[in-house]
Structure 1
């Protein structure tokens, strides 16, 4: 018949556990109760002896997992249930009295008196002499093991004399070893904290706490000592997310962040270790902005304003990188450019450059300068050069002579215009429509001029030998 009474651990060598319904393990010790229906698990090299109330002793060998069901822990048949009811009467009384006094029952009874006929019970219906059931001998019991690959577990039954007893049951604490990992500031790292941890007894290990926070079935998320988030699961697997904690690192520089964790074995022994992650900085681009609107551009004007200035700001997430590479008097196309580490810049126009002087009103030139921050991020400053009107000049033959009543009544010459504003168009004009005091003056589009003397003019005719008169005409 099945027995629902718990079994008691009478002897234990090595380590053994009860597997609970949630899969966790509870370590057994000598004297521990094993409830009916429990699974008993033994470690390598372990042996556990169990005693069930009214049942036979059970021995479970090393490396086993045995379900303590009614077939295993069933009670022995009660001898009183199977005993033959002794016949009443003088002979039976004398038989029992002889047995109790240690006498030979055959000496006090007739031979037939020592034999009683069988009655109901589990010993069958034949006639026999039944004194008492003192010891019941059994053969080894084979029990089905839950894992088919392991076949059968053999449970040896202990005799009434007991076993060797007194075997040691010292639990060795697990050994947790510090972990390390490495990655850059933008990379998620994955690993397992238990990968290099061990237990001298071969016990399974699990994580108890992270940075003092108890482990939960869904894992625990904690912040590292220097930033970043560690997400750790009970089985030791973890994920490290740097987040924004390490964006301040310049390229190639490192920082470390750590957490501590506690591992345990099924008996509750613990060991503490740390995981240290080294984070390597990568370059984060700087951001360049004008200190004020328009400070990333400048304007100068030919012959009037020859300098421009402004200020740029730079913000770089990486430590020590928020400044510009200074440059002094860097040559440009039409001028020079300078910038200091703080972003203050100046442009000086080369006003004598013919290309600048050649600009007319409304005409422009531009040039762009590249600025560079400490980490290599670049920006630009654009300069606009505005033109003005430059007054042209005239050269060439500007004088001539003619004689009163001479053979030639005209004189001519060639004027040349000069204008640095090369794109300007030009026309020639003369004052008073070319009417002079002694004659008339004309000029064509190419600057060729002609003066015609009015020889009939009384003032011309009034000139004496050797006298001269001058006629001045203005040409523009």
Structure 2
């Protein structure tokens, strides 16, 4: 069996079985005989065949089929080398003798497709095991075309069509106001101002190909009232910054800054989908008040005591700033 264990991944890598099922690979996963390893553009994967040899590095945009030829467990008898030497000597002699027909020297199988190549003339990825001397590690270039996302292979390997020839995944992002304040004085940094949600339409693609949705503030928020955070349940949300909370408490919250746009981005295999939503919140404004009282203060024993400038009334006032700055 040509089983291999993935010991490192750069970028992304997938395995496709004979039925066309695709699974994304992680370090520690095992590739079974009959599966095809696919690496993303600019990615790579390192495989350990458990044979005591150095791991094999598969570069980005490559495809390697796990075929029986990859098995290196078979012990090679030394007599096979002697047989190969005899065949080589006979071939060299035939090349020097014009009277000998090379077709009489070569085996019948040497003229057609054999273990060294595929029946359609393509390449088969055979790992050489029958080497009688030490060699330096070799870097193999399979000559594949650079591809974006999942690579394609003619003749039964991973095709874009296997992901759905008409696949058109999409993403919906929702932004909902969530700030609950009775009075402006209750505003504080970290309070949830908006809840963020999303729904993915995979359009027939395997949901396991979908990555996590990432969010970014892409509009509004010029005053820096909000930032990305989480609600009490760990769900994505926009929360008040200290700037936003202070503006609410002081009655200086700019209504134009209450609107904000959030964009979500998700990778689904070779696809990247985006969606945005915009919402705004209403915040309570502080209500400062003024209380004025007037009390009689003129005290005269007789009218003859009345003089200009005597206090007739006292006036008192009390201001409630309701959290605003004095």
TM class, shorter-length: 0.3 to 0.5
More strand by share: 1
Tell me the TM-score normalized by structure 2. Answer: 0.43
Greater Rg over alpha carbons, structure: 1
Tell me the TM-score normalized by structure 1. Answer: 0.32
> More relative contact order in 1 or in 2 (CA 8 Å, sep 6+)?
2
